[in-house]
Amino acid sequence: MIRKSIPLLILILICVATLAVAAAQGSSKGSAGAGKPAEWSINASIIEACSCPMFCQCYFSTEPAAHAGHEGHAGGEHFCRFNNAFRVNRGHYGGVKLDGAKFWVAGDLGGDFSKGQMDWAVATFDRSMTKEQRDAVGAILAHVYPAKWNSFTTAEGAIEWTPGKESAHALLDGGKTAEVKLKKFPGMTSEPVVIKNLKYWGVPRNDGFVLMPNEVEAYRAGDKPFEFKGTNGFMITLDMNSSDVASAEAPKAY
């Protein structure tokens, strides 16, 4: 799961991935005119899961949980291998509409992100998205996930995204490339268990982490496939816009 809380506030000050920066520059020029940053906003929901135990300690630390006993891994290895399936509820980047757009971010945070350096990630855009929409999402992701990556690449696929109060399911290429299946964690009532007032990466607003441990979270493509069952999962809706970024970057009066 890509994300974090107070320890990761330092990431706001770090340069973002080169690919995302290039997308941001290209979209800004195309949508807002030379020299003017684009005006944008996004409200999106995520079906998210990772390899950490429930609830992911990455929100409270600068290293993921240690994993011992997984086939092919040395005992005590730290990593956070995640799948984040997005659907935009409403959004735009300049004149580019993003309502209904679906995209997927999968990867591994690595063993120590105290300096803002993550291991790898792949952003996959749904085949229905236009080039302008993909550039816009790339620009926005640079602010949602303000980090540096050893490797950050893009891909294209078919995304199925099915939310629900009792369960949630997302498929990339019918599950051939990736899959996340979540089931609601039982609370004291029929309402879901929700963690409030916890920061999600660089995003200033969210409606809470709706706890839903995964039945499976898997990335089955490339040379670093992984699959986990019964580990961390949640749904969350985030809200962010260009004014938030401008306010965060504005000089402070002392």
User: What digits encode the pLDDT tens for the residues 136-187?
Assistant: 999 999 999 999 999 999 999 999 999 999 999 999 999 999 999 999 999 9
How many residues are recorded in the chain? 254
Q: Global pTM?
A: 0.83
Residues of the chain with pLDDT under 70: 1-35, 68-75, 250-254
pLDDT at 253: 52
pLDDT at 36: 75
Sequence ranges of the domains in the chain: 6-247
pLDDT at 166: 95
pLDDT at 34: 52
Q: CA–CA separation, 83 vs 93, rounded Å? A: 24
pLDDT at 1: 52
Give the angle subtended at the CA of 192 by the CAs of 62 and 207, to the nearest 5°. 60
pLDDT at 172: 98
